[in-house]
Structure 1
Amino acid sequence: MLAFGVGHRGWSLAGVGAAVAATQLSVGWVNDWLDADRDRATGRADKPIPAGAVSRRTVGIAGLVATLLIPVLGAPFGVAAACTITLVGVFALLYDWPLKATALSVVPYLVAFGSLPAFVVVALPGHPAPPLWLVAAGALLGGGAHFANVLPDLADDAATGIRGLPHRLGAAWSQAAAAGLLLAATFVLVFGPAGPPSWAGLAAAAVAVVVLPLGWYAARHARGRPVAVFRAVMVVALLDVLLLIFTGRVV
């Protein structure tokens, strides 16, 4: 959607989608390969390896193939674009190992999510430089997603020795961090581009201000895995992407 919004069409649109998909498949499959024993120990039946749906070896090979494809799929867009999407893949894998269990666990999210929209812009004909506000908004979205994504699994992670930054801060501070980073991303997207903010942008900011506290409130009163904050973050993230597309002021 973002690639279409900034002007990619035809093979270029498909190529950008394939390159980004390779990063997602790489980080997801390698993560499941690395965490297979942890997932078994915590009874994660929703994961395909401990559920017996696929072998660990198959997932590991698939992750390796997806990783090697990242620079290959980025190459048709030029050296700068290929390096940018490769940077995304490298930092995503650094999260899988070894940074997930350290106080630096948020760093791969900041770098990778900031670089993703930069790749989409650099891959355009003429290779324009991405605006700094766009990179900053992507990084803030990534940081917020990290804190929200970990929230439902804090107890399981702690039981298996994972001590990333959210685990060190605790659930309450991680919820606050997720909401604060996402709100900051929204305001960067609304007020970062040149010119006055659009009515759509102001409306998106208003929705974010309402949705994130509602997600926090629901998580505080939920039974079982607290996924409400994560869902609120995803709503705001979708609003931010739509805001980027329909304001048409990225490049």
Structure 2
Amino acid sequence: MDTTDRLASQASTVRLPHPLTGLLLSCHPGPVAAVTVLAAALGVSSGLTTGCVALVASAVLAGQLSVGWCNDAFDARRDADAARPGKPVARGTVGAGTVWGAAFTALAVCAVLSLACGAAAGSAHLAGVLAAWAYNLRLKETVLSWLPYAAGFGSLPCLVALSLPGRPWPAWWAVAAGALLGVAAHLGDVLPDIEADLRAGIRGLPQRWGEARTRRLLPLPLVAATAVLVLGPPAGGGPGPVPVLCAAALCTVVLATAFAAPRPVRTWRKAALAGTVAVAAADVALLLARGTSIA
């Protein structure tokens, strides 16, 4: 049975949601919301006016919608072949053409809103969004699969800083921390699907490493981001010692759980995952706490 027949069979045997619901679900709403909230929070913490925060958040929202729709439309056939759940285009809930149209429309809206923040801010953000499109269309299958995530997350502090009065350049440590968080996001996003990706012929960097090695290396960019956020800003420009000590303790725990291998393995893996999530949360909190000095 080919892909078309499989989609038709699924549509005839499973009650599919409304196409509009499918369109909304195919944008990857979780990551879209998370990145948009992060950009808005960074704008607030850096001192942007309410109007500028709304503009930045809207530009990021449009960009993330375009990336999510591009991903699902481009991967529809591959997702159908792998029978992946939660993929509305692959299930036939909404047509690939509709999703492609939404992706390009969102990209155009993103361009307008981003450039409304200023030429430099808009260009930096659009570079990150276009890198994400490049990931969807080609780079996810190469050893450079991590690069679009680094560029995309690194562009967020650039967008916020260059939207401030005077259009100041973003601090190097803010861009570096964002890029490192992006690399960690890439590893964490790909980790559950490595085996399926390999069967589909996708050989990005995590797929080449394999599940076990990727799981062990995932904490490293998070720990590096913590170090950059603690040591990078000028003295007196950051949070007090308590959050710094907490972040250092979390880094120690997650490194210990990731690289040691006692039994039972399942319990240890859950501990490593929990520690990784905790370090990621601490890094985001540190980044937001440093917001007033990102430029």
| Fold match by TM threshold 0.5 | yes
Structure 1 unaligned regions, length at least 5: none
Corresponding residue for residue 169 of structure 2:
129
Q: CA deviation at 1:232?
A: 5.0
Question: How far apart are the structure 1 equivalents of 2:208 and 2:169?
Answer: 37
**Structure 1 position 233, deviation (Å):** 4.2
Pairwise CA distance, 1:22: 1.5
> 2:199 maps to which residue?
159
Match of 1:249 in 2: 293
Cα separation, partners in 2 of 1:119 and 1:57, compared to 1, 3 Å: same
CA distance in 2, matches of 1:213, 1:64: 44
Q: How big is the alpha-carbon RMSD for the aligned residues of Structure 1 and Structure 2?
A: 2.4
Of 70, 81, 95, 2:135 maps to 95
CA contact (8 A) 1:70 1:85 kept: no
CA gap of 1:86–1:10, structure 2 versus 1, over 3 A, is same
**What is the CA distance between 1:110 and its match in structure 2?**
1.6
Instruction: Tell me which structure has the larger Cα radius of gyration.
Output: 2
Deviation (angstroms), 1:68:
1.4
Q: Distance in 2 between matches of 1:250 and 1:95?
A: 27
* 1:12 corresponds to 2:55: no
Choose from 148, 167, 174 the match for 1:108: 148
| Structure 2 residue 235 is matched with structure 1 residue 191 | no
Distance 1:98 1:228 in 2: 34
Question: What is the match of residue 115 of structure 2?
Answer: 75
CA contact (8 A) 2:206 2:214 kept: yes
- Tell whether the 8 Å contact from 2:216 to 2:258 is kept in structure 1 after alignment: no
**Percent identical across equivalent pairs?**
41
> Any gaps of 5 or more consecutive residues in structure 2?
1-40
Q: Distance in 1 between matches of 2:162 and 2:136?
A: 26
Contact 1:144–1:177, Cα closer than 8 Å, also in 2:
no
Match of 2:280 in 1: 237
Cα distance in 2 for residues equivalent to 1:244 and 1:62: 32
Determine whether 1:40 maps to 2:83.
no
Matched residue type, 2:121: A
Mapping of residues 208-219 of structure 1, within 5 Å: 208-211=251-254, 213-214=256-257
TM-score (norm 1): 0.89
Single out whichever of 156-165 and 48-57 deviates more from structure 2.
48-57
Corresponding residue for 1:118? 158
2:62 is equivalent to residue 22 of structure 1:
yes
Separation in structure 1 between the aligned mates of residue 280 and residue 83 of structure 2, nearest angstrom? 30
Whole-angstrom CA distance in 1 between matches of 2:159 and 2:45 = 14
SS of the residue corresponding to residue 193 of structure 1 reads coil
Contact 1:26 1:63 in 2 (8 A): yes
Q: Deviation per CA, 1:143-199, whole angstroms, max 9, x where unpaired? A: 111112111000111111101011111122212332111110011011111116631
Give 1:249 deviation, angstroms.
3.2
Change (3 A) 1:107 1:13: same
Q: Secondary structure at the match of 2:144?
A: coil
